[in-house]
Amino acid sequence: GGERTMDISTDLVELSRTPVVVVSAGVKSILDIRKTLEVLETYAVPTGVWRSNEFPAFFSPQSGVRSPARFDCADEVASSYLKGLDLGLQSGTLVAVPNDDPAGQSVEDSIQEALKEADERGIVGNDITPFILKTVADMTRGDSLRSNMSLVKSNAVVGADIASAISKQMNSQCCGFSSSPERPKVVCVGGAVMDIVATSSKDQGMIAGTSNPGQIRTSDGGVARNIAEVLGRLGSRPTFYTAVGHDHDGLISRLNHCGVITENSVFRSSKYSTARYAALLDHRGDLVAAVSDMDCLQCIPVPPSAEDLVGVEYLVLDANAPADSLVRAAKNGVEAGAKVCFDPTSVPKASLLTKSSDFLSCLSYMFPNTDELYAMARALDDWVEPCGSETSLVEYASSCLLGNMREKACLVITRGHRGLLLATKSDDIISYHDLQAEKIDAITSSNGAGDTLCGSFIHAKLEGASDTQAAEFGQSTAKSSLLYSEGAISPDLDNLKYEKMR
């Protein structure tokens, strides 16, 4: 037996680490069915029988072994499989389809006779399988081959139904809000990314061109994902639209635990892997360089129509989705009466989207840093490079962008250790308000501070804050990310609410 020889098929091992659905006719009776099921259970492989409670024995629908589970339709298999992906499970799912071919039982009887004969003749090891196959074919006069062909066709039909059900359920997950009566007040659209962050040692600092001692950690990231997490932790219950691959390793379910709604708004790509971002930080926690693998983000869905955004007060977009999708989402937001907020994400993406006047004219809020601000302003057709101080350049770039935004609009510009500049337009009058940054001596990482600011700002606005009050609250919460070393967003936000800060 397998418990003595440890002769366990590598197929079972592979099934435990590959997230696929396998459709088979069960376990051949030449093998030990009970022990095979025990191994599958040990390897955490969900296993069930198609419309039966008895586990099939390949050629025969009967084995005398009760099935661990039962699937009565393709939708049940698809739902189980996709839920496993949501939880970050890496194992596959085994669906055993009983063979209903009339010759099946006679073939099974022949196998048992052949096994007995092999035992009597002392045939073991690698010689046993070819002996069984030849003996059974002779005894059944070809019925074993015909039965085998029948079960292959049956498996193909069931497999096709399951594949279709998986596809339909995946597509339905990006076709609007949940059927729940709760309607979100804020919707975030954009990237969900696995972050890999390497920080050099404080003893040595960063030395270019060689290996540096330090620490490497992985965490959940992506601008819109981070903003959604902030809003969720603060209690604003946002809905999040994004795209991931089948290798997202629980990225979505962890968001759900933070109070973010993802039902019917996440597209799961079978073509691309989940987006990844690798950042290199110096010993002070400042970004030195980064590499991104973001192909999956081209699949990010957006709310299909303005009707899907009715009741939404704030629509938050990062620059990771395709440009045409962002323009469509922004227009839908304006039509639905939502205030559209935009985080430029990076300098190249920021300047690309600025070239669309249709997009800019939908925006009520933007959250750029100074580099992104300059890149967006310089991409405007009417930009003229000014002369003067840095302050005059920031104000000129702000006025150029605000002139292309909604009638009432606001830029929340982050300036590192210098704090924030709030540039606000109302009735064609632009005003500027400086908010100085609190000095923090023990900054761990600046990664996520801007996203925390943005999410906290919108949370405060939902609670009735003015733009200045919201910016002040955003600054106070951003401090938590600057002091948090385990990820972009600090879990300490769970204990903060705007109403407690007033």
Q: What would the mean pLDDT of 454-469 be, rounded to a whole number?
A: 95
The pLDDT of residue 173 is 53
Q: Above 60 in pLDDT, residue 103? A: yes
Q: Under a CB-based contact definition with an 8 Å cutoff, are residues 459 and 231 in contact?
A: yes
Instruction: Read off the pLDDT band of 501 (50, 70, 90).
Output: very low
What average pLDDT does this structure show over 265-287?
A: 86
Cα–Cα distance between 242 and 391 in angstroms, integer? Answer: 37
Give the pLDDT of residue 98.
92
With 60 as the cut, is the pLDDT of residue 34 above it? yes
Question: Which residue from 467, 474, 473, 470 is spatially nearest to 453, judged by alpha carbons?
Answer: 474
**The pLDDT value given to residue 6:** 53
Which of 75, 103, 57 is closest to 166 using CA atoms? Answer: 75
Q: For residue 310, how far is the Cα from the chain centroid?
A: 25
C-alpha 319/C-alpha 469 separation (Å) is: 26
Residue showing tokens 């359920």:
169
* pLDDT of 297 higher than 70: yes
Sequence-distant (6+) residues with CB within 8 A of 294 are 191, 193, 275, 277, 320
> Taking 70 as the threshold, does the pLDDT of residue 217 lie above it?
yes
State phi, psi for 480 to the nearest 5 degrees.
-65, -35
Q: What is the C-alpha to C-alpha distance for residues 93 and 21, in angstroms, rounded to an integer?
A: 5
Higher per-residue pLDDT: 3 or 32: 32
The pLDDT value given to residue 285: 78
Question: For the segment 463-486, what is each residue's pLDDT rounded down to a tens digit?
Answer: 999 999 999 999 988 888 777 767
| Residue 53, pLDDT above cutoff 60 | yes
**7, pLDDT greater than 80:** no
Q: Return the pLDDT at 149.
A: 85
In which band, very low, low, confident or very high, does the pLDDT at 185 lie, cut at 50, 70 and 90? very high
Q: Is pLDDT of 335 > 80?
A: yes
Does the structure show a pLDDT above 60 at 449? yes
pLDDT value, residue 383: 85
Give the model confidence (pLDDT) of 344-395 as tens digits: 988 888 888 888 889 999 999 999 999 999 999 999 988 888 777 878 889 9
- pLDDT reading at 174 higher than 60: no
pLDDT for 172 beyond 60: no
Per-residue pLDDT, 104 = 64
Range 210-232 average pLDDT: 91
Whole-number Å distance between alpha carbons of 35 and 32: 6
Q: Please report the pLDDT score of residue 466 as a whole number.
A: 94
> Does residue 451 carry a pLDDT above 90?
yes
Got the DSSP string for 436-497? PPPP-S-----TTHHHHHHHHHHHHHHTT--HHHHHHHHHHHHHHHHT--SSSS-GGGGG--
Which two structure tokens, joined as six digits, stand for 132?
A: 């069984």
pTM, two decimal places: 0.65
Q: Please, what is the average pLDDT of the chain? A: 86
pLDDT value, residue 396: 93
Q: What residue type is 310 in one-letter code?
A: V
Percent of the chain predicted with pLDDT > 90? 45
